[in-house]
Amino acid sequence: MYTRYQKNRSQKISGFLLGWQPRIALMLALCSGLGLSATAALTTGALRCEYLTDPKGIDVVQPRLSWVVESNRRSERQTAYQVLVASTSAILKKNSGDLWDSGKVAGAATSQVVYRGSPLTSRMQCFWKVRSWDRDGNPSEWSAPAAWTVGLLEASEWSAKWIDAKVKLPPSARGPLPVINRAVYETVDESAALDVTELLTKQAAEGDFSLDVQNESFGEDPAYGKVKRLRVEYTLSGKKSVRFFNEKSTLSFPGDLCGMPVISRAVYEAVDGSGSLDVTEKLAEMAESGNFSLLVDNESIGPDPSFRHLKQLRIEYKSNGKTWEKIVGENKVFYYPSYWEAPEGVPYLRKTFTVGKPVVRATVYVTALGLY
């Protein structure tokens, strides 16, 4: 009984294996057939031009191109690449590069591949893509397209004019200018002084100027090792006044002599209103000596009006016949009077113009002395 059972079981297993042999062979044949037309075991992406993704307005006529190769297969590598660069996206879509077709280039380079196509000119648009070959010599699919544009390459192509948020008015529109009566570069304790009246009046006669309060500006140190300042006595609209400029500060003429903001009220307070400290007298006294800076914290202003609460300095002041208010946050520095002279935010400049035709593409070429 046992022997017969074993024999039947053996026949069934054998029959099962024999029955699947043709199917396994067919599957192996199909797999090997697929290998004949297989694409590369890698992909290309993350295309960059001059280390940037789709940069606009580059000023390099032979930009450096790079891409990233990825694969799920171990020890995979790029053995060759091909770059296409076209003047339109439609041409590139046809797998054609009218600006540059590198052809198949052997090598593993994926970075700093220099563009060697047709010369680039200002305002050009360039569309590009790349493909790679794997270690078995199979090409990848083309990468997703990328692009770059060329800026204005010649200074003569700039037709724009500089714009500025600060408009300098002609003397006739400014109102009366201050007249410098006397200027002295002196020690704070007034133990030594250097008369610099002639220097400042001469510069004022030539127009607006800025002067750093330091020994180099006046050609001499009135007292070595002592803290100094610049005293300027002047007349504005028939009224005589005096201004002090601390050492290492800057005198801007005529703006700094055309009237100082008058502090009418100053309060060091908790933001949530839980406590406050009137510091009007303290700041007004500091303003009488001229320019100053003040760190908004308990140590500089003190005492603490509200323990463990966020605080601020609220200042009411009068300028040009109007009353204004400024708030300086805790741990920020308040500069008098330059804090009020600086713009509160980024100036918003705009201009309206009319376009007479349908717009296909619009480009603005902008620069801001290296800041844009």
Q: What is the pLDDT of residues 296-349, one digit of tens each?
A: 999 999 899 999 999 999 999 876 556 788 899 999 988 887 666 544 555 667
Among 45-49, 149-153, 174-178, 334-338, which is the least confidently predicted range?
Answer: 174-178
Same domain, 90 and 66: yes
Same domain, 334 and 301: yes
The residue that leads in pLDDT, 88 or 321, is: 88
User: Of the residues 157, 180, 195, which one is the last residue of a structural domain?
Assistant: 157
Same domain, 96 and 141: yes
Same domain, 311 and 286: yes
| Within-domain flag for 263 | no
Among 62-76, 156-170, 181-195, 304-318, which is the least confidently predicted range?
Answer: 156-170
Residues 6+ apart with CB under 8 A from 251: 210, 211, 213, 230, 232, 245
pLDDT for residue 165: 58
Same domain, 80 and 14: no
| Within-domain flag for 352 | no
| Within-domain flag for 56 | yes
Same domain, 252 and 292: no
pLDDT for residue 259: 65
pLDDT for residue 36: 43
Same domain, 62 and 112: yes
- Model confidence at 367, pLDDT cuts 50, 70, 90, reads confident
- Encode pLDDT of 208-248 as tens digits: 888 999 999 998 999 998 999 999 999 987 888 898 999 98
| Within-domain flag for 361 | no
The residue that leads in pLDDT, 128 or 29, is: 128
Among 34-38, 67-71, 126-130, 281-285, which is the least confidently predicted range?
Answer: 34-38
Q: What does pLDDT average to over the chain?
A: 83
Same domain, 51 and 145: yes
User: Of the residues 102, 134, 157, which one is the last residue of a structural domain?
Assistant: 157
- Model confidence at 5, pLDDT cuts 50, 70, 90, reads very low
Token output for 65: 């191109």
Same domain, 3 and 61: no
- Encode pLDDT of 230-241 as tens digits: 999 999 878 888
Q: What residues make up the domain containing 329?
A: 268-341
Q: How many domains does the chain have?
A: 4
Same domain, 148 and 223: no
Same domain, 65 and 142: yes
Residue 189: pLDDT over 80: yes
| Within-domain flag for 166 | no
Same domain, 124 and 201: no
Mean pLDDT along residues 2-26: 42
| 3-state secondary structure string across the chain | CHHHHHHHHHHHHHHHHHHHHHHHHHHHHHHHHHHCCCCCCCEEEEEEECCECCCCCECCCCCEEEEEEECCCCCCCCCEEEEEEECCHHHHHCCCCCCEECCCEECCCCCCEECCCCCCCCCCEEEEEEEEECCCCCECCCCCCEEEEECCCCHHHCCCCCCCCCCCCCHHHHCCCCEEEEEEEEECCCCCEEECHHHHHHHHHHCCEEEECCHHHHCCCCCCCCCEEEEEEEEECCEEEEEEEECCCEEEECHHHCCCCEEEEEEEEECCCCCEEECHHHHHHHHHCCCEEEECCCCCCCCCCCCCCCEEEEEEEEECCEEEEEEEECCCEEEECHHHHCCCCCCCCCCCCCCCCCCCCCCCCCCCCCCC
Within 13 Å, how many C-alpha atoms sit on residue 250's CB side?
8
pLDDT for residue 347: 63
Residue 66: pLDDT over 80: yes
Residue 370: pLDDT over 70: no
Percent of the chain at pLDDT > 90 equals 55
pLDDT for residue 258: 73
Mean pLDDT along residues 38-54: 89
| Within-domain flag for 31 | yes
pLDDT for residue 167: 47
- Model confidence at 41, pLDDT cuts 50, 70, 90, reads confident
User: Of the residues 157, 188, 214, which one is the last residue of a structural domain?
Assistant: 157
pLDDT for residue 262: 82
Among 164-168, 191-195, 295-299, 351-355, which is the least confidently predicted range?
Answer: 164-168
The residue that leads in pLDDT, 160 or 146, is: 146
Residue 9: pLDDT over 80: no
pLDDT for residue 164: 65
